[in-house]
C-alpha cells in the first residue's frame, strides 16, 4: 500500500513539473518571434553602415580617426583589451551560459598568454556569478538589460570604452556573445569591435577598392566622425539582440526536452503503479480465497 501511495505522489509531482516546463516552453516560443524580428531588423542596418564606411574609407582619413587606429603589432605589458562578456540573467536554457563562459575563458587565456592586460565587462547575472566565484575582478557589471535590449543600452556600455580607446588606455575592445543563426544553433563567438577593421578589397578586383559614386556634403571626414561611433554602438547592439534571441531559443529547446522527458517518466511511473496495484489486488484476492478455504476446513 505504501509503495502505490509513493508512486501516486511521484506521478502528481512530475505532472506538476511538466505543466511548468510546458508553460515556460510556450512563453519562450512567443518571445522568440519578437526577438528574431529584432535580430533581422538590426542586420541590414549594420550591413549598410559597413558598406558606407567601406566606401568612404581611405588610408589618409584613417590616420585622423582614433577609432580606426590599428595595433602596431608590438607586444608589451602596457597593452590592454576590454572584453565584454554577454550572458543571460536566467538559467533553464541547457548549456547556453556555460558555452559563453567557456568561450570567454578561452579568450582570456589566449590574451594572457600574449601578455595582454584584460578589463572584464560583464553583462548578465550568470557571467557575473561565475567570474565572482572564480575571483576575477570586473571593471563593470550590468544586470538590467534582460531579453529586450535597446540601442540606449549599447550606447551606455560602449561609450566609455570608445573614450578609453580614443585616449590610448585601451588597444582593443572585444565582445563574447551568442551568434544567432537559428533557434537551435547559436554558437558562442568573439567579435572585435574596436579598432574598426578597414574594408577588404573586393576579390578579383586586382586589389583595388570599389569606388562609390557619392556626392559628399559635408566632407567625408565629417560623415565618418558621425558614422564610426554609430557603427561601434550598432555592433554591440547586434551582439545584445542576438544573444537575447539565442537565449530564448535555447530555453525553448531545453523546456521542450524537459517536457518530453517528464512525459516519459510519467508513462514509466504509471506502468510501475499499475503493476504494483495489480500485484496488490492479486495478493488481496489470494488472502480472501485462503481465508475462505480455512473456514471450510
Cis peptide before 143 (omega within 30 of 0): no
Residue 241 near residue 178 (C-beta atoms within 8 A): no
For residue 102, the number of C-alpha atoms closer than 13 Å in the C-beta half-sphere is: 7
Q: Which single residue is written with the C-alpha cell 579598432? A: 195
Tell me which residue has cell 496488490: 280
**What is the chain's length?**
297
Q: Can you give 145-185 as a three-state secondary structure string?
A: CCCCCCHHHHHHHHHHHHHHHHHCCCCEEEEEEECCCECCE
Tell me the C-alpha distance between 178 and 90, whole Å: 15
Ramachandran area for residue 180 (φ above 0: left; ψ -120 to 50: alpha; else beta): beta
Alpha-carbon distance of 44 to 3, in angstroms, equals: 61
Q: Under DSSP, is residue 193 helix (H, G, I), strand (E, B) or coil?
A: strand
Residue of 28, 53, 84, 93 marked active site? 93
Distance between first and last Cα of the chain: 30
Q: What is the DSSP string of 100-149?
A: HHHHHHHHHHHHHHTT-EEEEEEESHHHHHHHHHTT---SEEE-S-TTS-
> Is 93 a residue of the active site?
yes
Catalytic residues: 93
Amino acid at each position: 500500500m505504501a509503495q502505490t501511495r509513493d508512486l501516486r505522489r511521484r506521478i502528481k509531482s512530475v505532472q506538476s513539473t511538466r505543466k511548468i516546463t510546458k508553460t515556460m516552453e510556450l512563453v519562450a516560443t512567443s518571445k522568440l518571434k519578437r526577438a528574431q524580428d529584432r535580430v533581422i531588423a538590426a542586420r541590414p542596418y549594420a550591413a549598410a553602415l559597413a558598406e558606407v564606411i567601406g566606401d568612404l574609407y581611405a588610408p589618409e582619413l584613417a590616420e585622423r580617426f582614433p577609432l580606426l587606429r590599428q595595433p602596431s603589432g608590438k607586444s608589451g605589458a602596457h597593452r590592454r583589451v576590454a572584453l565584454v562578456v554577454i550572458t543571460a540573467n536566467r538559467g533553464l536554457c541547457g548549456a547556453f551560459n556555460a558555452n559563453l563562459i567557456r568561450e570567454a575563458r578561452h579568450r582570456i587565456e589566449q590574451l594572457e598568454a600574449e601578455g595582454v592586460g584584460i578589463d572584464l565587462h560583464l553583462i548578465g547575472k550568470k557571467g557575473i556569478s561565475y567570474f565572482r566565484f572564480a575571483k576575477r575582478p570586473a571593471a563593470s557589471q550590468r544586470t538590467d538589460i534582460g531579453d529586450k535590449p535597446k540601442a540606449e543600452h549599447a550606447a551606455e556600455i560602449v561609450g566609455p570604452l570608445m573614450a578609453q580607446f580614443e585616449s590610448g588606455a585601451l588597444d582593443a575592445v572585444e565582445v563574447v556573445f551568442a551568434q544567432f543563426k537559428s533557434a537551435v544553433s547559436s554558437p558562442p563567438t568573439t567579435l572585435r569591435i574596436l579598432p574598426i577593421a578597414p574594408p577588404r578589397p573586393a576579390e578579383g578586383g586586382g586589389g583595388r577598392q570599389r569606388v562609390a559614386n557619392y556626392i559628399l556634403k559635408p566632407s567625408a571626414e565629417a560623415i565618418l566622425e558621425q558614422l564610426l561611433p554609430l557603427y561601434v554602438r550598432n555592433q554591440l547592439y547586434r551582439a545584445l539582440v542576438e544573444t537575447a534571441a539565442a537565449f530564448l531559443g535555447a530555453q525553448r529547446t531545453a523546456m521542450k526536452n524537459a517536457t518530453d522527458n517528464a512525459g516519459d517518466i510519467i508513462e514509466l511511473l504509471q506502468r510501475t503503479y499499475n503493476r504494483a496495484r495489480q500485484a496488490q489486488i492479486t495478493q488481496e484476492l489470494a488472502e480472501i480465497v485462503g481465508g475462505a478455504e480455512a473456514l471450510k476446513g
